[in-house]
């Protein structure tokens, strides 16, 4: 079973590694994953202290079933290699490297820390172009879209439909699906704009992303609901499976549900829907 199917990633909340109160509060939040941040959310003068605080937080534990992913500083900074070295042997679920642009960068990270799933921030034009080779690395577990940086690099203007960056989003999503890794959509900056967040979550879900990266706990409920199977989808999946199994018992290759043909490919999707629902229930 791939990582996509085995664990839900509806909501991945960024938590600054330098904020002790935030690290503690994260243990109580209804997020599927926590992106513990040592990069953008931490000022240069606080980076070393934040690293030590986060190492101790991982030792203390208490984060339950939430995926624990550490976003380190890039290897082109004075902190990146020490960040990675600090988490060798730690109880974490992934290391997230910013601005990944090639398989060589992933391999460099892989050499620096063994036995930990690797994640890539996809946020530059070169990263988009090389998305397939990045996703193909045997230890790559997931992509996180860095839409703020990507918009800056592309020199796009803000549009609610995100049309200017849709090509890059699709390139990364296609690469992730080709190699069976997780794909998380970028953040929505206006954390008080629930209507806008809802629309962007629905757009990302409909495109095929597994979940949404978030910057504020107030965004959790909307993302969790948007990326979870609805009651109607669960009901349809169950009826499709039942109808198809009945058809197979009669020696037939297709079934009909709600006036629509149901083939084996629909059953694969239906079973994935039910597996995701079960995984979400297991998180609660």
Out of 226, 241, 261, a domain closes at 226
CA distance 11 to 172: 19
Query: Where do the H-state alpha helices sit in the chain?
Result: 3-6, 20-25, 47-60, 80-86, 103-112, 125-129, 131-135, 147-154, 166-178, 194-207, 220-226, 231-249, 264-283
195-218 tens-digit pLDDT? 999 999 999 999 999 999 999 999
Q: Say whether pLDDT at 1 is over 70.
A: no
Number of domains in the chain: 2
Q: Give the residue numbers spanning the domain of 267.
A: 231-283
Residues 22 and 139 in one domain: yes
Residues 222 and 139 in one domain: yes
Give the per-residue pLDDT at 210. 97
Residues 219 and 276 in one domain: no
Out of 207, 226, 245, a domain closes at 226
Residues 105 and 15 in one domain: yes
Segment 148-175 mean pLDDT: 96
Give the per-residue pLDDT at 44. 97
Residues 152 and 168 in one domain: yes
16-31 tens-digit pLDDT? 999 999 999 999 999 9
Cβ count near 242 (within 10 Å): 13
Give the per-residue pLDDT at 282. 86
Segment 225-249 mean pLDDT: 96
Segment 147-152 mean pLDDT: 97
Residues 25 and 154 in one domain: yes
- For 50: left if phi > 0, alpha if psi spans -120 to 50, otherwise beta; the answer is alpha
Residues 165 and 52 in one domain: yes
Residues 23 and 149 in one domain: yes
Residues 84 and 213 in one domain: yes
Segment 120-142 mean pLDDT: 98
CA distance 62 to 59: 9
Q: What is the pTM for the complete model shown?
A: 0.94
Q: What is the CATH number of the domain that holds 106?
A: 3.20.20.60
Residues 215 and 106 in one domain: yes
Out of 208, 226, 244, a domain closes at 226
Q: What are phi and psi of 239, to 5 degrees?
A: -70, -35
Residues 249 and 262 in one domain: yes
Residues 241 and 106 in one domain: no
């Amino acid at each position: 079973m791939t990582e996509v199917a085995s664990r839900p990633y509806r909501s991945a909340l960024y938590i600054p590694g330098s904020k002790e109160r935030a690290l503690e509060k994260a243990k109580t939040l209804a997020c599927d994953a926590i992106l513990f941040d040592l990069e953008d959310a931490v000022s240069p003068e606080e980076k070393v202290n934040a690293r030590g605080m986060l190492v101790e937080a991982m030792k203390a534990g208490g984060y339950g079933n939430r995926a624990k992913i550490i976003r380190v500083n890039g290897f082109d900074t004075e902190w990146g290699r020490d960040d990675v070295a600090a988490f060798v042997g730690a109880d974490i679920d992934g290391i997230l490297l910013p601005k990944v642009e090639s398989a060589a960068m992933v391999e460099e990270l892989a050499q620096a820390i063994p036995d930990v799933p690797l994640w890539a921030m996809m946020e530059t034009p070169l990263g988009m172009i090389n998305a397939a080779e990045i996703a193909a690395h045997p230890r790559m577990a997931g992509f996180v879209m860095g839409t703020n940086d990507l918009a800056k690099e592309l020199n796009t203007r803000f549009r609610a439909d995100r049309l200017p960056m849709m090509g890059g989003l699709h390139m990364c999503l296609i690469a992730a699906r080709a190699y069976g890794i997780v794909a998380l959509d970028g953040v929505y900056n206006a954390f008080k704009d629930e209507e806008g967040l809802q629309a962007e979550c629905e757009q990302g879900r409909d495109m095929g992303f597994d979940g949404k990266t978030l910057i504020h706990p107030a965004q959790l409920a909307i993302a969790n609901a948007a990326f979870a199977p609805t009651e109607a989808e669960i009901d349809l999946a169950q009826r499709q499976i039942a109808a198809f199994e009945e058809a197979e018992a009669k020696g037939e290759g297709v079934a009909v549900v709600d006036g629509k043909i149901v083939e084996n490919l629909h059953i694969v999707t239906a079973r994935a829907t039910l597996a995701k629902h079960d995984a979400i229930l297991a998180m609660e």
